[in-house]
Amino acid sequence: MMGPAHSLSGAAAWLGVGAAAAAAGRPMPWPVLVVGALVCAGAALAPDLDHKSATISRAFGPFSRGLCGVIDKISYSVYKATKTQSDPRRSGGHRTLTHTWLWAVLIGAGTAVLGMAGGRWAVLGILFVHMVLAVEGLLWRAARVSSDILVWLLGATSAWILADILNKPGNGADWLFSAPGQEYLWLGLPVVLGALVHDIGDALTVSGCPVLWPIVVGRKRWYPVGPPKAMRFRAGSWVELKVMMPVFMLLGGAGCLAALGII
Ligand SMILES: [Zn+2]
């Protein structure tokens, strides 16, 4: 899928988690619902950091372009080092290492530890990166015509404002993990979820997604998971734009209302 569909599915998934949390008796305060949805929308772009023309690789100028080159090289080496005889030869690292459940869990755990132990600036950093990505993903065309600097300013101000709101007692810095010192541990959850939702989205496209790596399936360690070929669609096709994106919006809206206890 393309950036906007990934981001929208990420936001919808977090709102769905909000509905499930409310049903399970651990409702999210509204700032957790909003911030989580935005972080998840941003995190849902992150696996494409292995592709130089992806939204995320362009989002932070030379910094993200450089990181993208490094991630692509690492992913390609890991692919070559771990492929079985049945995995095809390939020429780059796109849709390999960063498109696996293991990667999702590792960056989620990293974010959780950073958010919990890194203090205010770590939380601001995590929010800033994901707010910029959420703006790029959700307001795709609008962000593309404005300048990068404006998007970064928007990301920085919204990160600052949202961190202040979350810090107020009862607003959810300690949602789900409420022991002293565990504030912001939950920030890892939308990051894991966003990456997994991205992988599922890619699995629905023609080439599939090797999300199960390093688990061997049918003699392939990079088995491209996906539905039967007839049910797959091309990235950026009308199915994605005219069917899936409106469905994500409806599901997200329903999830949001349920999470807030309105329905
Ligand atoms: Zn992808």
From the number of C-beta atoms within 10 Å of its C-beta (0-12, 13-18, 19+), residue 263 rates as exposed
* Of 261, 255, 263, the residue nearest 18 (C-alpha): 255
CA 1 / ligand 1 centre spacing (Å) = 7
pLDDT in the model for residue 143: 62
Cα 163 from Cα 13, distance rounded (Å):
22
CB count within 10 Å of CB 212 equals: 18
Q: How confident is the model at residue 48 (pLDDT cuts 50, 70, 90)?
A: very high
Q: 44 vs 1, 82, 167, CA distance in Å?
A: 11, 25, 25
Confidence band for 258, pLDDT divided at 50, 70 and 90: very high
145, pLDDT greater than 90: no
Mean pLDDT of 42-70: 93
* Residue 122 CA to ligand 1 centre (angstroms): 26
Confidence of residue 144 (pLDDT cuts 50, 70, 90): low
Q: Report the separation in Å between the CA atom of 23 and the middle of ligand 1, taken as the mean of its atom positions.
A: 31
* C-alpha to C-alpha distances, 137 to 41, 42, 133, 148, 227, nearest whole angstrom: 7, 7, 6, 13, 25
Q: How far apart are CA 214 and CA 6, in angstroms?
A: 24
Predicted pLDDT of residue 29: 95
What confidence score (pLDDT) does residue 246 get?
94
10: pLDDT confidence band, cut at 50, 70 and 90? very high
Residues in the 5 Å CB sphere of ion ligand 1: 47-48, 202
Task: Tell me, in angstroms, the distance from the centre of ligand 1 to residue 138's CA.
Answer: 16
For the ranges 17-31, 115-129, 135-149, which has the lowest average pLDDT? 135-149
Long-range contacts at 166-173 (CB < 8 A, ≥ 24 apart): 166/31, 166/32, 166/35, 166/123, 170/29, 171/29, 171/31, 171/32, 172/28, 172/29, 172/31, 172/32, 172/35
State the distance from the centre of ligand 1 to the C-alpha of 234, rounded, in angstroms.
13
The pLDDT, as a whole number, for residue 160 is 96
263 pLDDT band (50/70/90 cuts)?
confident
Mean residue pLDDT across the chain: 93
Q: How far is the CA of 47 from the centre of ligand 1 (A)?
A: 6
Q: Is the pLDDT of residue 142 over 80?
A: no
Nearest to 13 by CA among 166, 163, 201: 201
Report, as an integer, the average pLDDT of 217-226: 93
65 close to 31: Cβ distance less than 8 angstroms: no
| For residues 36-59, average pLDDT | 93
**pLDDT above 70 (res 141):** no
* 85 Cα–ligand 1 center, Å: 24
**pLDDT average, residue stretch 66-91:** 94
Q: Are 94 and 42 in contact (CB under 8 A)?
A: no
At 76, the amino acid letter reads: Y
In this structure, how many other beta carbons lie within 10 angstroms of the beta carbon of residue 98?
24
Contact 259, 21 (CB under 8 A): yes
pLDDT of residue 132: 95
84/37 Cα distance (integer angstroms): 38
3-state helix, strand, coil in the chain (%, to 5): 65, 0, 30
Q: Is the pLDDT of residue 80 over 70?
A: yes
pLDDT score of 222: 95
34 has pLDDT over 80:
yes
Is the pLDDT assigned to residue 158 strictly greater than 80?
yes
Mean pLDDT of 160-184: 93
DSSP letters for 175-224: SS--STT-TTGGGHHHHHHHHHHHHHHHHTBTT-B-TTTTS-BTTBTT--
Residue 188 CA to ligand 1 centre (angstroms): 20
